[in-house]
């Protein structure tokens, strides 16, 4: 399940992690790792679909990367880097 960056729960966990709470930090890192695993699963499914439809998956990947640049996923990845 992807992280909803606008959820009050996520924002609370993230703020507590930034404030140095070790439990919140572990929870935030776990949530981000699970989010990344979900994103990887979606990407793999996209590649499988592209292959089954005989589409140029590198072109689809470029399009997906472009779309990701405006998605909350990048904010999640940047936040994980700060906490790690």
**Residue-wise pLDDT tens for the chain (84 aa)?**
678 878 999 999 999 999 999 999 999 999 888 888 888 888 888 777 777 776 666 776 676 666 656 566 666 766 776 776
In this structure, what is the dihedral angle of CA atoms 38, 46, 79, 31, given to the nearest 10 degrees? 0
Domain ranges of the chain: 8-83
pLDDT for res 60: 65
Q: What is the pTM of this model?
A: 0.56
CA quadruple 82, 40, 8, 71: dihedral positive or negative?
Answer: positive
């Amino acid at each position: 399940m992807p992280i909803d960056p606008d959820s009050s729960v996520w924002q609370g966990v993230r703020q507590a992690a930034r404030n140095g709470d070790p439990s919140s930090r572990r929870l935030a890192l776990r949530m981000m790792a699970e989010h990344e695993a979900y994103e990887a699963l979606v990407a793999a499914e996209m590649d499988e679909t592209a292959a089954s439809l005989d589409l140029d998956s590198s072109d689809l990947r470029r399009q997906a990367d472009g779309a990701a640049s405006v998605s909350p996923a990048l904010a999640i990845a940047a936040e994980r880097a700060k906490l790690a």
